[in-house]
Structure 1
Amino acid sequence: MSLQQKIDRITDILRRDDGISGAMHYTEQTSWVLFLKFLDDYESEKRDEAELSGKAYQPVLDEAHRWSTWACPKNADGTKNLKADSGDDLIKYVNEELFPYLKSFANSIVTGGADPKSFAYKVGATFQYLDNKVASGHTLREVLDIVDTLNFQSSDEMFELSLVYEGLLQNMGDAGGYAGEFYTPRPVVRAMIKAIDPQPGQTIYDAAAGSCGFLVEAFDHLKSKKSELSTEQWNFIQRDTFFGFEKTSLAYVMGMMNMILHGIESPNLYRGNTLTQNIRDIQEKDRYDIILANPPFGGKEKDQIQQNFPIKANATELLFMQHFMKTLKSGGKAAIVVPEGVLFQTNSAFKQVKQELLENFNLHTILSLPAGVFLPYSGVKTNVLFFERSGGTSDIWYYECEPEQKLTKNKPITDEHLKEFVELCNSRETTDRSWTVSARNLAEDYDISAKNPSKQRDTEHLTPNDILKQVRNKEKFVSGLLDEIEDLLAGK
């Protein structure tokens, strides 16, 4: 049975349980089981490494609460221990002993007694927002037995699991109507990261992290260079590179687990509303080299939140844009997904934010994405703004992504659709899909929306007389069709 088949089997089992209702529940419940098996394999690997180097290893979990003790204990010969708990005994243990124990790690977070970068801290941060929802101990026993067959010490299996888990997150987002919150299409994310090209030693930030797709893909991008990295650089990537905030508890839990299951040992993900921070208090030490994000748009924030920003606005996209501009380091790079309205709206707040962006940042590239990228969550047309904190904007290179077929839920955007953009973004070539506009031409109303000049030429080359001739010809054609219909109706 392949790993995908095992996860599909777990999903089918959980669907039958009285405590599970929908994709969000079975993904959440599958996640905590996978996480605890991963933790057991992780601890085993660290213990073996410590023994080889003659050092002692202090495990995160005590012996009574380790996977190998309660979930799937083995006999001395490695066979399954048939006395393992099931039914009501298993559910009672999980609900009354295991989860309270795991949540207790959160107490050290509150009191400041744990190293924020330690694995114990991450366990507490994750499980303080989780509960077991599986009602039947027999259902849970089936799930545990399947997960026990997974080997998280295998790099190949870990890679395959990371892909399968991405699929679970996407299904959860689609089914719950939270696709934009949990899942940004990975071809878009990868194109943004390839254009930015993060380097080892840089810090990477997402203030609206969701399931942490941007941070995970950025990690994979850096991991591809692992053979060239020193131990110090790799440790920095594992512990001091990735930072994020997420407002909702479920997305936070999914994001934390997504990063850890992809191989980031110490993600710096925090739960909280980014917009409650007064950006006037942000100093250079609080800033990041790389910002990658798809912040929520279409929402409204109350007056109290708006006070944290120099340009007051209730639109979340404008508040997040101000936050990103303020948290970008000198010389830093950002790629931000925004709705079309941010580009063309010219009322006071929109105009002021774009004026600051053009005057104080180098908005060098705008990627115009096709409608339907975020279906079924949203049909809003979006763009990606690429800017650097390196002086004002002189000109903007636009690229218009236009697939031959209309995007739908079943025909989503692909890497191939964005391949040309990635190839051209550094050379900034002019093609039928790409063009450059001087920032001086945008300074009157700050409408920075994509207006492809090649399309405008196509529609403007006809003279008025030619247009009138076309109209008359079409009228004659329609009139002829109507005559034929009348003749048919009259029986001629």
Structure 2
Amino acid sequence: MSFEQTFKNIDDLLYKDSGADSELDYIGQTSWVLFLRYLDELEQDKADEAALEGKEYTFILKEEYRWNNWAMPKDADGKLDHHVALTGKDLVQFVDGELFPYLAEFKNTAEHPQTIEYKIGEIFSELKNKIQSGYNLREILEYADELPFRTSKDKHELSHLYETKIKNMGNAGRNGGQYYTPRPLIRAMIQVINPQMGETVYDGAAGSCGFLCEAYEYMYERMEKNTDNLKTLQEATFYGKEKKNLAYVIGIMNMILHGIEAPNIIHTNTLGENIRDIQEKDRYNVILANPPFGGKERKEVQQNFDIKTGETAFLFMQHFIKSLKAGGRAAIVIKNTVLSNTDNASVSLRKLLLESCNLHTILDMPSGTFLGAGVKTVTLFFTKGKPTKNIWYYQLDPGRNMGKTNPLNDKDLVEFVKLQETQPETEQSWNVKIAEVDTETFDLSVKNPNTPEEAPLRETEVILAEMEELDAETNTILKSIKELI
């Protein structure tokens, strides 16, 4: 059975179950089952490695809570042992009453947050089993048991399918969309920023960790494959923060499927941190993010920022600027009103950005880039440390209406990535000198001066005269034809 069919079968069972109500529930429930299946493979791999070295491996989980004991006990033929396997009410009672509480306790007993033990505790503190039928759960466990995690090819296919499920959440209501930024846009942002081995990469609004996963793929493909580099990439390169329970769990699982064993993702409200407390040790070389649009933060949260505003995305922008190292590079997706709003906070934010960073590129995205969200966005590319002298704008025009059947693709962004290196003037791109920007408003609105002008509408009298002239020509031709006949 294909991976895709297995995922579909699991979704069908969740659809039938009275406890899972939406695509959001489906991915949450699939995530905890997948995580335990993955954990079993990981532990088995480590036990095998230890045995080859003549060492003994200490399992993280007690024997009765390992996959092969509670989820898939097998007989001598390798088939599910129906005499031992829990099902029906017994299975649900074990999962809810014993398994989840046991796993949640790891949050209190783990040595520190950057361990897989702590991640286990976090995930099972935040999620609840919503599968009410023990018979449905039994079938789901059997399907999950068929999924292989051993090879990088297997993990790649699983991660691709998981990404598809995250994307589908965008259709499951307003909450889902905020977890998903189109991957072609993320890949283009990463190509422009070009993170290097030894640099740290951060997303303070991590969601499903799409930026961090894509940055991992980009850096892994280009690095020299040695033990030190692999360890650095695994443990000391990617960092994120996420506030929402489900998004946090999905992000952790997404990074694990992409190959990062114990992701450095912290479950916290990023905006709850006072930016005045951010020290050099808390700063990063690269920031990639798409902070949530349209949120409204309380007064006490606004006190953590120098520029007070209820707009979540504008607070995140301050956090990102403060969290960049000197010379650090950022690419941030944000709604286009950040360029033009006339309120004091917006003007102050633009002034801060232009004076403390080199905002060298603004990518203007077409409507429909974000499925289900009628928001126009731009991507800001900036380097911290020197003020902005010139901004290169690029107005993306894929030549079609964007939507579910025509989503953004990698080809749409090839020209932008190529031209960004030299920042020329074209019909879709132009430069703005900061010396020419109004210092009262710092208005950076997207106004393309290179769009070919449409021919002006002609006067009515001119059109009528032309029609009479054409009529006269037609009559002359008809007269000539009659004479010939």
- TM-score normalised by structure 1 residue count: 0.91
CA deviations on 1:28-64 (whole Å, 9 max, x unpaired) are: 1111111100000011111111222233322211111
CA distance in 2, matches of 1:291, 1:158: 26
Q: How far has the Cα of 1:410 moved from its partner?
A: 2.4
Match of 1:257 among 253, 256, 260: 253
**Is contact 1:337–1:385 with CA below 8 Å preserved after alignment?**
yes
Q: Does 1:67 align with 2:63?
A: no
Q: How far has the Cα of 1:224 moved from its partner?
A: 1.0
Q: Does 1:304 align with 2:305?
A: no
Which moves more between the two structures, 3-12 or 254-263? 254-263
**Is contact 2:169–2:177 with CA below 8 Å preserved after alignment?**
no
Which moves more between the two structures, 275-284 or 80-89? 80-89
CA distance change for structure 1 residues 183 and 471 in 2, over 3 Å: closer, same or farther? farther
CA distance in 1, matches of 2:390, 2:329: 16
Q: How far has the Cα of 1:345 moved from its partner?
A: 1.6
What aligned pairs does 1:257-296 form with structure 2 within 5 A after superposition? 257-296=253-292
Q: Does 1:469 align with 2:466?
A: no
CA distance change for structure 1 residues 316 and 470 in 2, over 3 Å: closer, same or farther? farther
CA distance in 2, matches of 1:14, 1:416: 36
CA distance in 2, matches of 1:70, 1:271: 29
- What SS class does the counterpart of residue 453 from structure 1 fall into? coil
CA distance in 1, matches of 2:464, 2:106: 75
What residue is the counterpart of 1:482 in the other structure? none
Q: How far has the Cα of 1:308 moved from its partner?
A: 1.0
CA distance in 2, matches of 1:373, 1:7: 27
CA distance in 1, matches of 2:9, 2:436: 58
CA distance in 1, matches of 2:415, 2:394: 9
What residue is the counterpart of 1:203 in the other structure? 200
Q: Does 1:423 align with 2:418?
A: yes
**Is contact 1:303–1:314 with CA below 8 Å preserved after alignment?**
yes
**Is contact 1:179–1:374 with CA below 8 Å preserved after alignment?**
no
CA distance change for structure 1 residues 469 and 165 in 2, over 3 Å: closer, same or farther? same
Q: Does 1:406 align with 2:401?
A: yes
What residue is the counterpart of 2:370 in the other structure? 374
- What SS class does the counterpart of residue 159 from structure 2 fall into? helix
Long gaps (5+) in structure 2: 468-485
CA distance in 2, matches of 1:408, 1:458: 28
What aligned pairs does 1:436-447 form with structure 2 within 5 A after superposition? 436-444=431-439, 445-447=441-443
- What SS class does the counterpart of residue 367 from structure 1 fall into? strand
Q: How far has the Cα of 1:346 moved from its partner?
A: 2.9
Q: How far has the Cα of 1:268 moved from its partner?
A: 1.1
**Is contact 1:60–1:119 with CA below 8 Å preserved after alignment?**
no
Match of 1:177 among 165, 174, 190: 174
What residue is the counterpart of 1:120 in the other structure? 117
CA distance in 2, matches of 1:475, 1:273: 70
CA distance in 2, matches of 1:368, 1:297: 16
What aligned pairs does 1:84-163 form with structure 2 within 5 A after superposition? 84-108=85-109, 113-163=110-160
- What SS class does the counterpart of residue 310 from structure 1 fall into? coil
Opposite residue 292 of structure 1, the aligned amino acid is L
What residue is the counterpart of 1:317 in the other structure? 313
CA distance in 1, matches of 2:289, 2:246: 18
CA distance in 1, matches of 2:80, 2:433: 70
**Is contact 1:397–1:435 with CA below 8 Å preserved after alignment?**
yes
Q: How far has the Cα of 1:471 moved from its partner?
A: 9.1
Q: Does 1:449 align with 2:445?
A: yes
- What SS class does the counterpart of residue 326 from structure 1 fall into? helix
CA distance in 2, matches of 1:253, 1:200: 27
CA deviations on 1:46-99 (whole Å, 9 max, x unpaired) are: 111122223332221111100011111122342332221111111111111111
What residue is the counterpart of 2:11 in the other structure? 11
Q: Does 1:432 align with 2:442?
A: no
What residue is the counterpart of 1:481 in the other structure? none
Alignment RMSD = 1.8
- What SS class does the counterpart of residue 453 from structure 2 fall into? helix
Q: How far has the Cα of 1:252 moved from its partner?
A: 1.0
CA distance in 2, matches of 1:237, 1:271: 21
CA distance in 1, matches of 2:86, 2:66: 14
Which moves more between the two structures, 420-429 or 197-206? 420-429
**Is contact 2:398–2:412 with CA below 8 Å preserved after alignment?**
yes
Q: How far has the Cα of 1:474 moved from its partner?
A: 9.3
Q: How far has the Cα of 1:475 moved from its partner?
A: 13
What residue is the counterpart of 2:479 in the other structure? none
Segments ≥4 residues shifted beyond 3 Å: 470-477
- TM-score normalised by structure 2 residue count: 0.92
- What SS class does the counterpart of residue 421 from structure 1 fall into? helix
Opposite residue 469 of structure 1, the aligned amino acid is E
Opposite residue 46 of structure 2, the aligned amino acid is K
